Amino acid sequence: MPADAAGAPAGALKGVKIAPSILAADFARLGEQAVEAAAAGAHYLHVDVMDGHFVPHITFGHNTVAALRGLVTIPIEVHLMVEEPERQVPLFVEAGADTLIVHVEATPHLHRVVGAIQAAGRRAGVALNPGTPLAAVEEVLPLLDQVLVMTVNPGQGGQAFIREMLRKISRLRRQLDEADLRAELEVDGGVSVATAAEAVVAGARVLVAGTAVYTPARSVAEAMGQLGACVLEVAGLAQTPKEGWRGEAKRGSSAASAGSAYRY
């Protein structure tokens, strides 16, 4: 069985994690930018796999994950935006993925796929598109290690955060806490210094961030520091500065004010 999620105690605004998405990285420097994210304090490395069917674009395959596995020691989570994800699970398990996230909309056999992932010793997650109700995942929620709320429609990076999803995140947070379930609540899409705090206040504990981390305007460490400052402001994580984004966040006090529009 996979290890339980190492998240914060239910209901506590602490233990928030950042998962940089390499979809926004410079593909010519993919390995280097993955290493930069890990060195800056990323908790997970998020790999968006698209098949050109479930979503319009095609991105990475299992060989990319295998290459990244040799470069970083932090957990790699693979977000399978593919039809029939059960066909791909063994390939990404062998490649070294730590968490596999499948879409509830992509398979009629969700329970079976979750079981197959966990039987392989990996953490299992389920993602829901913006238009998919929480009821679609209720029957497997007690089994999950991770549940991902899409805050954009999947298939393309750089989209704007869908604010209506904040209520969905909040409802899911209550469900997880009331049932004392272990699944980490993750959000993916449009996460930035302007939206990260709102997502945390609503109940997110893992933030997938693409263009907020990988941007020509600043280094990965600086970008992680700015995003981390927004999280620290609302999550009560102030502590002795450490390496990576935590240290950058503490040093960059002006960055915290960038996320001050979190009220919800």
Mean pLDDT of 193-197: 93
Distance, CA of 54 to CA of 133 (rounded, Å): 18
The pLDDT of residue 222 is 95
Q: Is residue 231 part of a domain?
A: no
Q: Is residue 186 part of a domain?
A: yes
Q: Is residue 35 part of a domain?
A: yes
Choose among 80, 69, 50, 211: nearest CA to 148: 80
User: Higher confidence at residue 181 or residue 243?
Assistant: 181
The pLDDT of residue 259 is 35
Mean pLDDT of the chain: 86
The pLDDT of residue 212 is 95
CATH of the domain at 126: 3.20.20.70
Distance, CA of 60 to CA of 24 (rounded, Å): 12
CA distances from 84 to 50, 53, 149 (A): 12, 10, 20
Q: Is residue 7 part of a domain?
A: no
Q: Is residue 262 part of a domain?
A: no
Look at residue 264 and tell me whether its pLDDT is greater than 60. no
Overall domain count for the chain: 1
The pLDDT of residue 138 is 96
The pLDDT of residue 116 is 98
For residue 113, the enclosing domain spans 17-215
The pLDDT of residue 155 is 76
Percent of the chain surpassing pLDDT 90? 78
- 219-236 pLDDT, tens digit per residue, is 999 999 999 988 887 765
Q: Is residue 38 part of a domain?
A: yes
The pLDDT of residue 249 is 55
The pLDDT of residue 15 is 82
Look at residue 13 and tell me whether its pLDDT is greater than 60. no
The pLDDT of residue 250 is 52
Percent of the chain surpassing pLDDT 70? 83
For the annotated catalytic residues, the residue numbers are 48, 188
Tally Cβ neighbours within 10 Å of residue 224. 28
Determine contact, residues 60/48, Cβ cutoff 8 Å: yes
User: Higher confidence at residue 257 or residue 230?
Assistant: 230
The pLDDT of residue 14 is 58
Look at residue 191 and tell me whether its pLDDT is greater than 70. yes
Mean pLDDT of 71-99: 97
Q: Is residue 4 part of a domain?
A: no
SS (H, E, C) the chain: CCCCCCCCCCCCCCCCEEEEEHHHCCHHHHHHHHHHHHHCCCCCEEEEEEECCCCCCECCCHHHHHHHHCCCCCCEEEEEECCCHHHCHHHHHHHCCCEEEEEHHHCCCHHHHHHHHHHCCCEEEEEECCCCCHHHHCCCHHHCCEEEEECCCCCCCCCCCCCCHHHHHHHHHHHHHHCCCCCEEEEECCCCCCCHHHHHHHCCCEEEECCCCCECCECHHHHHHHHHHHHHHHHCCCCCCCCCHHHHHHHCHHHHHHCCCCCC
Q: Is residue 134 part of a domain?
A: yes
